[in-house]
Amino acid sequence: MKYNIKIAEEKMQKSVNAYESNLSTIRASQANAAIVSKVMFEYYGAPTKLVDMASVAVTDPKTLTITPYDRSTLKAMVKALQASDIGITPQDDGSVIRLVFPPLTEEHRKGLAKQIQKMGEEARVAIRNIRRDANDDIKKQKKGGEMTEDEQKAGEKSVQDLTDRFIKTVDEITSKKEKEILKL
Protein backbone atom coordinates (compact mmCIF):
# COMPACT_ATOMS: atom_id res chain seq x y z
CA MET A 1 0.00 0.00 0.00
CA LYS A 2 1.45 3.34 -1.07
CA TYR A 3 1.09 6.31 1.29
CA ASN A 4 -2.00 8.32 0.40
CA ILE A 5 -1.21 12.06 0.28
CA LYS A 6 -4.95 12.82 0.47
CA ILE A 7 -5.03 11.71 4.12
CA ALA A 8 -2.39 14.28 5.07
CA GLU A 9 -4.17 16.94 3.01
CA GLU A 10 -7.51 16.26 4.77
CA LYS A 11 -5.86 16.43 8.21
CA MET A 12 -4.09 19.70 7.34
CA GLN A 13 -7.36 21.19 6.04
CA LYS A 14 -9.06 20.21 9.31
CA SER A 15 -6.28 22.01 11.23
CA VAL A 16 -6.80 25.17 9.15
CA ASN A 17 -10.59 24.95 9.63
CA ALA A 18 -10.17 24.56 13.41
CA TYR A 19 -7.84 27.57 13.45
CA GLU A 20 -10.36 29.70 11.53
CA SER A 21 -13.11 28.58 13.89
CA ASN A 22 -11.02 29.56 16.92
CA LEU A 23 -10.21 32.94 15.35
CA SER A 24 -13.89 33.69 14.82
CA THR A 25 -14.38 33.67 18.60
CA ILE A 26 -11.88 36.53 19.06
CA ARG A 27 -13.82 39.73 19.14
CA ALA A 28 -12.82 42.68 17.06
CA SER A 29 -14.57 45.94 17.83
CA GLN A 30 -17.56 44.79 15.79
CA ALA A 31 -20.39 42.51 16.90
CA ASN A 32 -19.95 38.92 15.72
CA ALA A 33 -22.34 36.06 16.52
CA ALA A 34 -19.48 33.52 16.56
CA ILE A 35 -18.23 35.06 19.81
CA VAL A 36 -20.98 33.31 21.79
CA SER A 37 -20.77 30.03 19.84
CA LYS A 38 -18.81 28.26 22.59
CA VAL A 39 -20.73 29.64 25.58
CA MET A 40 -22.43 26.83 27.53
CA PHE A 41 -25.10 27.04 30.23
CA GLU A 42 -27.01 24.57 32.42
CA TYR A 43 -30.36 23.51 30.92
CA TYR A 44 -32.21 20.95 33.03
CA GLY A 45 -28.92 19.82 34.52
CA ALA A 46 -27.17 19.30 31.18
CA PRO A 47 -24.52 21.62 29.69
CA THR A 48 -26.08 23.16 26.58
CA LYS A 49 -24.71 25.54 23.95
CA LEU A 50 -26.31 28.96 24.17
CA VAL A 51 -26.65 29.14 20.36
CA ASP A 52 -28.75 25.93 20.40
CA MET A 53 -31.31 27.52 22.72
CA ALA A 54 -31.49 31.10 21.43
CA SER A 55 -31.62 33.23 18.33
CA VAL A 56 -28.38 35.25 18.02
CA ALA A 57 -28.46 38.31 15.77
CA VAL A 58 -26.23 41.27 14.97
CA THR A 59 -28.58 44.26 15.16
CA ASP A 60 -25.91 46.88 14.37
CA PRO A 61 -22.10 46.85 14.12
CA LYS A 62 -21.74 47.28 17.89
CA THR A 63 -24.71 45.25 19.24
CA LEU A 64 -25.49 41.55 19.43
CA THR A 65 -28.93 40.42 20.60
CA ILE A 66 -29.69 37.00 22.03
CA THR A 67 -33.34 35.97 22.19
CA PRO A 68 -33.90 32.74 24.17
CA TYR A 69 -36.43 30.30 22.73
CA ASP A 70 -37.47 29.53 26.32
CA ARG A 71 -37.67 32.64 28.53
CA SER A 72 -37.01 30.58 31.65
CA THR A 73 -33.42 30.09 30.43
CA LEU A 74 -32.68 33.84 30.28
CA LYS A 75 -31.10 34.11 33.75
CA ALA A 76 -28.93 31.02 33.19
CA MET A 77 -27.78 32.43 29.84
CA VAL A 78 -26.88 35.79 31.40
CA LYS A 79 -24.94 34.01 34.14
CA ALA A 80 -23.05 31.92 31.55
CA LEU A 81 -22.20 35.03 29.49
CA GLN A 82 -20.89 36.78 32.61
CA ALA A 83 -18.74 33.75 33.47
CA SER A 84 -17.39 33.40 29.91
CA ASP A 85 -14.24 35.06 28.59
CA ILE A 86 -15.96 37.35 26.07
CA GLY A 87 -15.30 40.39 28.24
CA ILE A 88 -18.68 42.08 27.73
CA THR A 89 -21.32 42.52 30.40
CA PRO A 90 -24.69 41.27 29.13
CA GLN A 91 -27.74 43.51 29.53
CA ASP A 92 -31.11 41.81 29.78
CA ASP A 93 -34.54 43.38 29.66
CA GLY A 94 -36.46 40.28 30.71
CA SER A 95 -36.86 38.83 27.22
CA VAL A 96 -33.73 39.72 25.23
CA ILE A 97 -30.02 39.82 26.12
CA ARG A 98 -27.93 42.55 24.54
CA LEU A 99 -24.16 42.57 24.22
CA VAL A 100 -22.82 46.05 23.39
CA PHE A 101 -19.27 45.94 22.03
CA PRO A 102 -17.15 48.83 23.27
CA PRO A 103 -14.32 50.08 21.05
CA LEU A 104 -11.06 48.28 21.79
CA THR A 105 -8.18 50.13 23.43
CA GLU A 106 -4.80 50.17 21.68
CA GLU A 107 -3.36 47.99 24.45
CA HIS A 108 -6.16 45.42 24.09
CA ARG A 109 -5.72 45.36 20.30
CA LYS A 110 -2.01 44.58 20.71
CA GLY A 111 -2.84 41.84 23.22
CA LEU A 112 -5.32 40.31 20.78
CA ALA A 113 -2.73 40.50 17.98
CA LYS A 114 -0.30 38.53 20.18
CA GLN A 115 -3.03 35.99 20.92
CA ILE A 116 -3.69 35.63 17.18
CA GLN A 117 0.05 35.10 16.54
CA LYS A 118 0.13 32.39 19.21
CA MET A 119 -2.92 30.64 17.76
CA GLY A 120 -1.35 30.85 14.29
CA GLU A 121 1.83 29.22 15.58
CA GLU A 122 -0.23 26.43 17.17
CA ALA A 123 -1.92 25.82 13.80
CA ARG A 124 1.48 25.73 12.05
CA VAL A 125 2.78 23.24 14.65
CA ALA A 126 -0.28 21.03 14.08
CA ILE A 127 0.41 21.06 10.33
CA ARG A 128 4.09 20.23 10.89
CA ASN A 129 3.08 17.33 13.14
CA ILE A 130 0.89 15.97 10.34
CA ARG A 131 3.89 16.29 7.99
CA ARG A 132 6.06 14.37 10.47
CA ASP A 133 3.47 11.57 10.78
CA ALA A 134 3.10 11.36 6.98
CA ASN A 135 6.88 11.18 6.51
CA ASP A 136 7.10 8.48 9.21
CA ASP A 137 4.48 6.42 7.36
CA ILE A 138 6.41 6.84 4.10
CA LYS A 139 9.66 5.73 5.79
CA LYS A 140 7.93 2.67 7.28
CA GLN A 141 6.63 1.70 3.84
CA LYS A 142 10.13 2.12 2.35
CA LYS A 143 11.62 0.03 5.16
CA GLY A 144 8.93 -2.63 4.67
CA GLY A 145 9.76 -2.84 0.96
CA GLU A 146 6.39 -1.42 -0.10
CA MET A 147 7.99 1.47 -2.03
CA THR A 148 11.25 2.31 -3.74
CA GLU A 149 13.67 5.04 -2.67
CA ASP A 150 12.51 7.22 -5.58
CA GLU A 151 8.89 6.80 -4.50
CA GLN A 152 9.92 7.68 -0.93
CA LYS A 153 11.65 10.89 -2.08
CA ALA A 154 8.67 11.83 -4.28
CA GLY A 155 6.26 11.14 -1.40
CA GLU A 156 8.27 13.25 1.04
CA LYS A 157 8.47 16.07 -1.50
CA SER A 158 4.68 15.94 -2.01
CA VAL A 159 4.12 16.09 1.74
CA GLN A 160 6.52 19.05 2.05
CA ASP A 161 4.78 20.93 -0.81
CA LEU A 162 1.45 20.31 0.91
CA THR A 163 2.85 21.53 4.24
CA ASP A 164 4.22 24.71 2.64
CA ARG A 165 0.85 25.42 1.01
CA PHE A 166 -1.12 25.03 4.26
CA ILE A 167 1.38 27.02 6.34
CA LYS A 168 1.11 29.83 3.79
CA THR A 169 -2.70 29.68 4.17
CA VAL A 170 -2.39 29.93 7.98
CA ASP A 171 -0.01 32.90 7.61
CA GLU A 172 -2.47 34.68 5.28
CA ILE A 173 -5.39 34.09 7.68
CA THR A 174 -3.29 35.32 10.62
CA SER A 175 -2.20 38.45 8.77
CA LYS A 176 -5.77 39.26 7.70
CA LYS A 177 -7.14 38.84 11.24
CA GLU A 178 -4.32 40.94 12.73
CA LYS A 179 -5.05 43.78 10.29
CA GLU A 180 -8.75 43.56 11.18
CA ILE A 181 -7.95 43.81 14.90
CA LEU A 182 -5.32 46.56 14.63
CA LYS A 183 -7.27 48.91 12.35
CA LEU A 184 -9.08 51.70 14.19
User: Are 88 and 120 in a shared domain?
Assistant: no
Out of 39-53, 105-119, 120-134, 139-153, give the one with best mean pLDDT.
Answer: 120-134
Q: What is the CATH number of the domain that holds 132?
A: 1.10.132.20
Exposure string for 80-112, b = 16+ CB within 10 A, e = fewer: bbeebebebebeeeeebbebebeebeeeebeeb
> Is the pLDDT score of 133 beyond 70?
yes
Answer with the one of 100, 127, 151 that is the final residue of a domain: 100
Question: What burial class does residue 53 get, using C-beta atoms within 10 Å of its C-beta: 0-12 exposed, 13-18 middle, 19+ buried?
Answer: middle
Predicted pLDDT at 27: 62
> Is the pLDDT score of 43 beyond 60?
yes
> Is the pLDDT score of 33 beyond 80?
no
User: Are 65 and 16 in a shared domain?
Assistant: no
Averaged pLDDT score across all residues of the chain: 87
Number of separate domains in the chain: 2
User: Are 168 and 77 in a shared domain?
Assistant: no
Stretch 138-154: mean pLDDT, rounded? 89
- Give the whole-number percent of the chain exceeding pLDDT 90: 30
Predicted pLDDT at 1: 41
User: Are 91 and 111 in a shared domain?
Assistant: no
User: Are 132 and 158 in a shared domain?
Assistant: yes
Stretch 18-22: mean pLDDT, rounded? 89
> Is the pLDDT score of 39 beyond 50?
yes
Q: What is the CATH number of the domain that holds 90?
A: 3.30.1360.40
> Is the pLDDT score of 11 beyond 90?
yes
Stretch 15-29: mean pLDDT, rounded? 82
Confidence of residue 57 (pLDDT cuts 50, 70, 90): confident
Confidence of residue 19 (pLDDT cuts 50, 70, 90): very high
Confidence of residue 118 (pLDDT cuts 50, 70, 90): very high
Query: 73-91: per-residue pLDDT in tens?
Result: 888 888 888 888 777 888 8
Answer with the one of 78, 100, 122 that is the final residue of a domain: 100
- Give the whole-number percent of the chain exceeding pLDDT 70: 95
Of 67, 64, 75, 53, the residue nearest 95 (C-alpha): 67
Q: What angle do CA 40, 42, 43 make, to 5 degrees?
A: 115
How far is 183 from 64, CA to CA, in rounded Å?
21
User: Are 166 and 114 in a shared domain?
Assistant: yes
